[in-house]
Structure 1
Amino acid sequence: MTPRTVEEYPVSDRESGPYALTTGPDGALWFTLVHSGRIGRLVPGQEPTSHQLAPDSGPTVICNGPDGALWFTQYRGHRIGRITPAGQVTEFALPTAECGPFGIAAGPDGALWFTETAADRVGRVTTDGSVAEYPLPRTGAFPSMIAAAGDSMWFTMNQANAIGRIGMDGRITVHELPTEAAAPVGIAVGPDGSVWFAEIAAGQIGRLTPDGRITEYALPDRSAKPHAVTTDADGTAWFTEWGGNRVGSLTSDGTVTVHDLPTSGSEPHGITVGPDGALWTALETGALARIKPTTTRTTLATKNTEQRNTP
């Protein structure tokens, strides 16, 4: 493991639950407070601020929109939200009741795409609030995180043990995972078009290349419960270990670096590249953590699995 290279910035009490975060168009970190129904904002070195939604709305994942605003899912409120850097909030109801929207990302078509965990659908909302929904070819799939790549969106199917792809025409392709019951959650796309995903139940990080090859990298701590994943400009995948209280990175050659978090049991969830180029993660116990750059790495010696899928 690396020496301690992590700084924590308190942003809420322990009950509010920082969950996901992103760098906004204003250069600040914006984050969801899932348990208190708020959207927070942090400029490092300044005091955090927040904007109150309905207390029981459950804001979950947040992303940048194509319109200069931040967009987020309300998992318990069953809505999609939009907040401007000035703090003006707009909410959009969804056609399917009790659908449990979770992941959200900007698509190549200028719309926002999101998952509906309880309805087995992927949704699309335009910046003026028009919503379309696309049913998955599986039931009980629990679609979770979603990310854009080229002319399509990629998403995890947590209970179907698969990665899904949806084109802008609504056509869906399913890629089965080699490891049974891996339960993928987080997903991100690297600059080379590779799709990275976290297998929370298997203690692995997966990579799906543009030619359809899936490689699964077993982590040194198989009980770490990797949750969220993002990529940096070099194409390195960064992930949170929710059960291991760590943040890790993984290169395409199987080199891993792990960082212990200073506070025990801090429950790291979302992760993103911050405005300063460092990696930031949301700690559900009430803080955002900054991971300083490091060159110390540990190479994985555990067995990896490969499978080729039709792209």
Structure 2
Amino acid sequence: MPGAPYGIAVGPDGALWFTLVAQGVIGRFAEGLVRSHPLGQSDGQPTVIVAGADDALWFTEFQGDRLGRITVDGAVTSRSVDGPYGACVGSDGALWFTELRAGRVRRLGVDGEVTGVEVDGMPSMITPGPDGALWLTVNQAHAIARVDADLAPRVYPLPTPSAAPVGITAGPDNAVWFTEIGAGAIGRIDPDGEITEFALPVTDARPHAIVTGPDGALWFTEWASCRLGRITVDGAITHLDLPGAEPHGLTVDAAGYLWVAMESGALVQVSV
């Protein structure tokens, strides 16, 4: 596949949609065919992509300072924001996203209204939690933050210095799980704020994205070691070598397969 896939998500049409970060392109993969949607400005660096609540997909362009939207027919629109990175749909149906450079979490309501709150320290990935709030990694504050529907933030510093968390997801155990790219560990935080960290066998593996798999375990990409990791809710860790290099985003399709976006130029399917 020509290009550097970074983020990946299952769209409302059941296809795989992904960002080509270096090329300024959104891609769609279905039935063995790839369709490309150039964004017109190749310097935007589209990164994270998520399915919205409006039958479209939303993506962040960190360098281009844009929040983009693409329909399943390929129509693209965008709005100016300040260095967006992570994005997700909250339990309220709104699109929530982080502004990594500006240090903010913002909410785009279904009515188009944008509100937000400051969270210092490079807020990165964001996910709806099992409690209905939004949980996010704060990369340079080495912390996890929680933002409720009233935009009230609470920050939980991590025990490990320079943990630099990135990926985050709701787990199958009423907790939130995250990657510590700086410390080479996987973390867990429960609704009361209690944090547990699980060191990886290779501490410089650079874990990046994380999702809950259909098997009730957590799966994560290791950017530096080119492996897909699996951790059970009890902390047992195993690994799978991946072809290519630089795995970043991953998602689970309707059939229960894991898909990994390899920045070296491929989408890799993994049977769980």
TM-score (norm 2): 0.95
Report the 3-state secondary structure (helix = DSSP H, G, I; strand = E; otherwise coil) of the residue aligned with 1:159: helix
**Structure 1 residue 26 and structure 2 residue 16: aligned?**
no
**Structure 1 residue 92 and structure 2 residue 79: aligned?**
yes
Cα drift, residue 276 of structure 1: 2.4
Write out aligned runs for 1:2-21 (5 A). Answer: 11=1, 13=2, 16-21=3-8
Write out aligned runs for 1:1-311 (5 A). Answer: 11=1, 13=2, 16-43=3-30, 45-53=31-39, 54-94=41-81, 99-136=82-119, 138=120, 141-149=121-129, 150-263=131-244, 266-293=245-272
Letter paired with 1:106: V
Give the conservation status (yes or no) of the 8 Å contact 1:154–1:166: yes
Runs of at least 5 residues in structure 1 that lack an aligned partner in the other structure: 1-10, 294-311
Partner Cα separation in structure 2 for residue 130 and residue 50 of structure 1: 30
Partner Cα separation in structure 1 for residue 24 and residue 251 of structure 2: 21
TM-score (norm 1): 0.84
- Per-residue CA deviation, residues 198-243 of structure 1 (Å, 9 max, x unaligned), is 0001110001122322110111111111011111244311100001
Q: Which has the higher contact order (CA 8 A, sep 6+)?
A: 1
Cα drift, residue 269 of structure 1: 0.3
Q: Which runs of 4+ in 1 moved over 6 A?
A: none
Give the conservation status (yes or no) of the 8 Å contact 1:29–1:275: no
Partner Cα separation in structure 1 for residue 70 and residue 32 of structure 2: 20
Q: Tell me the percent identity.
A: 52
Letter paired with 2:251: T
Bigger Rg over Cα: 1
Cα drift, residue 128 of structure 1: 4.9
Partner Cα separation in structure 1 for residue 141 and residue 192 of structure 2: 22
- Per-residue CA deviation, residues 265-293 of structure 1 (Å, 9 max, x unaligned), is x1000011123211111000110111122
Give the conservation status (yes or no) of the 8 Å contact 1:92–1:129: no
Report the 3-state secondary structure (helix = DSSP H, G, I; strand = E; otherwise coil) of the residue aligned with 1:168: coil
Counterpart residue number, 1:301 = none
**Number of residue equivalences:** 270
Cα drift, residue 133 of structure 1: 2.4
Report the 3-state secondary structure (helix = DSSP H, G, I; strand = E; otherwise coil) of the residue aligned with 1:82: strand
Partner Cα separation in structure 2 for residue 55 and residue 191 of structure 1: 38
Give the conservation status (yes or no) of the 8 Å contact 2:66–2:78: yes
Partner Cα separation in structure 2 for residue 108 and residue 275 of structure 1: 20
Counterpart residue number, 1:298 = none
Report the 3-state secondary structure (helix = DSSP H, G, I; strand = E; otherwise coil) of the residue aligned with 1:56: helix
Q: CA distance change for structure 1 residues 176 and 235 in 2, over 3 Å: closer, same or farther? A: farther
Letter paired with 1:284: E
Name the Cα RMSD after superposition.
1.3
Report the 3-state secondary structure (helix = DSSP H, G, I; strand = E; otherwise coil) of the residue aligned with 2:204: coil
